[in-house]
């Protein structure tokens, strides 16, 4: 009986020692994207020869044209523009607004958005005093009730511009979210 216990203990120790709970060390310091490769398994493969231009872009330093329907332009700096961002899970964007311009309602599943105003002022619809966008609960996305039944209400002209619909349609949608009497 003692031999069986010793054998079971030895097997348990061997199994415990063979398990690895840590991430393996990186095989390389950086993985600059090879944008010309035909292989696309999980993103971009790494290119062998890298240089400083793989880590630089001046795309975010240039203002974008805002003469469009929304009066805004989002310029992205991601792995397609800065290959050195490959495998880092990072992207940046610059948003330029014309006076009265809007950024249409949108979501970022499993991502975070930070807004930094460089010039002038920006007003957030449904924002709180502590600089957090209004969100009913962690993990929730912006849905109809958040926009069409907000308190204080989102102005009709913002909704008509964001969704490219008329004032009558906005009122119709708002009526569907109104509390039942």
Binding site members for oxalate: 103, 108, 113
Identify the three-state secondary structure at position 10: helix
What are 18's strand-pairing partners? Answer: none
Annotated binding-site residue numbers for Mn(2+): 106, 108, 113
E strand spans, 38-122: 72-77, 92-97
Rounded Cα distance, 122 and 100, in Å: 10
Annotated binding-site residue numbers: 103, 106, 108, 113
Give the other-Cβ count within 10 Å of 29's Cβ: 5
């Amino acid at each position: 009986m003692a031999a069986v216990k010793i054998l079971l203990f030895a097997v348990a120790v061997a199994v415990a020692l063979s398990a690895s709970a840590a991430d393996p060390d990186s095989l390389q310091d950086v993985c600059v994207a090879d944008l010309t490769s035909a292989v696309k398994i999980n993103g971009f493969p790494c290119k062998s020869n890298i240089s400083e231009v793989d880590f630089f872009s001046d795309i975010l330093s240039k203002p974008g044209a805002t003469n469009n329907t929304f009066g805004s332009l989002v310029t992205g700096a991601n792995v397609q523009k800065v290959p050195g961002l490959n495998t880092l899970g990072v992207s940046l964007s610059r948003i330029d607004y014309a006076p009265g311009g809007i950024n249409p309602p949108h979501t970022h599943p499993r991502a975070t958005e930070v807004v930094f105003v460089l010039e002038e002022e920006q007003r957030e619809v449904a924002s709180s005093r502590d600089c957090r966008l209004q969100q009913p609960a962690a993990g929730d996305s912006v849905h109809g009730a958040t926009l069409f039944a907000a308190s204080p209400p989102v102005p009709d002209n913002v909704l008509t511009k964001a969704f490219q619909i008329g004032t009558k349609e906005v009122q119709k949608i708002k009526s569907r979210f109104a509390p039942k009497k």
